[in-house]
Amino acid sequence: MITSSAGILILAAGKGSRYIASGGSGNKLLASMGDDALTVIETVIEQAKLSGLPVALVTRPDYLAVREQAERAGVQLVLCESGSSGESIAAGVAMTDRWNGWIITLGDMPWLTAAHYRRVNEALEQGAAQVRLTHQGKPGHPVGFDRRYAEALRNLNGDEGARALLDPRILITLEADADVHRDIDVVAKPR
């Protein structure tokens, strides 16, 4: 049975090489967000859940702490020995084929809020085939695809992810704040 709304697919299976290169250490998804002691991935999951949409997280089998946090939060877990974002998306879509669309986000973008996810979902519900949040004309996250992209998303591979599926003739872009670009890799840079 297909649900009436899209769901949020959190990609958290990367190896974090940009984070390490920018001065971070350890698994960036487990880095603390500060005083509230939530980790990056806990914050991403919390905001996704606050949207009221279904949530699934794609992560590596050996990321035990990330898996535990997802399980504790009660989100669907998809295990993938991913070599690329395309493979992660394909695995996630295959395991959530009952959804009416996919709002794809990255596990290292904890400043995205429930409101960001709801904006993308609202555009999908109004008939958009593809939706992307932008800031000052620059593409950001999350990116939404409606159900007609299920097969194409399941067949993705490579680091380009779903970018190759975006069609400027039908892509709906929604201007948002700068947080649609902000990820933990940028924040980790040494001062």
CA distances from 140 to 16, 22, 143, 160 (A): 19, 20, 8, 14
Cβ atoms 40, 108 nearer than 8 A:
yes
Task: Give the residue numbers spanning the domain of 26.
Answer: 7-187
Residue 56 lies in a domain: yes
Q: What are phi and psi of 177, to 5 degrees?
A: -80, 175
CATH number at residue 101: 3.90.550.10
Residue 32 DSSP class: B
Residue 16 lies in a domain: yes
Q: What is the pLDDT along the chain (191 residues), one digit of tens a residue?
A: 556 689 999 999 876 545 444 555 557 888 888 766 889 999 999 999 999 999 999 999 999 999 999 999 999 999 998 778 899 999 999 999 999 999 999 999 999 999 999 999 999 999 999 999 999 999 999 999 999 999 999 999 887 788 889 999 999 999 999 999 998 866 544 33
pLDDT at 150: 96
CA 169 to chain centroid:
23
pLDDT at 188: 46
Residue 140 lies in a domain: yes
DSSP strand pairing (76-79 vs 55-59): parallel
pLDDT at 190: 38
Residue 18 lies in a domain: yes
Residue 1 lies in a domain: no
| Count of domains forming the chain | 1
**3-state SS, residue 168:** coil
Cβ atoms 33, 39 nearer than 8 A:
yes
